[in-house]
Amino acid sequence: MEEKETVLNYGRVSYAVGEDGEARFLLNGELDHHSVKEIREVMDGKLTDYRPMSVTFDLSGVSFTDSAGLGLILGRYTKISGYGGALRLVGVSEEFMKILKLSGADRLFPVEARSEKRRIRV
Ligand X SMILES: Nc1ncnc2c1ncn2[C@@H]1O[C@H](COP(=O)(O)OP(=O)(O)OP(=O)(O)O)[C@@H](O)[C@H]1O
**Alpha-carbon gap, residue 68 to 53, rounded angstroms:** 25
Residue pair 14/8 in contact by the 8 Å Cβ criterion: yes
Verify binding: residue 85, ligand X, rule CB under 6 A: no
Candidates 14, 22, 53, 71: give the one binding other proteins (CB under 8 A).
71
Residue 119 per-residue DSSP state: P
**Least CB distance to ligand X at residue 103 (A):** 8
Using CB distances below 5 to 8 A depending on partner kind, what does residue 118 bind out of ligand X, other proteins, none? none
Q: Does 68 bind other proteins (CB under 8 A)?
A: yes
66 part of the interface to other proteins, by CB under 8 A: yes
What's the number of CA atoms in the CB half-sphere (13 Å) around residue 95? 13
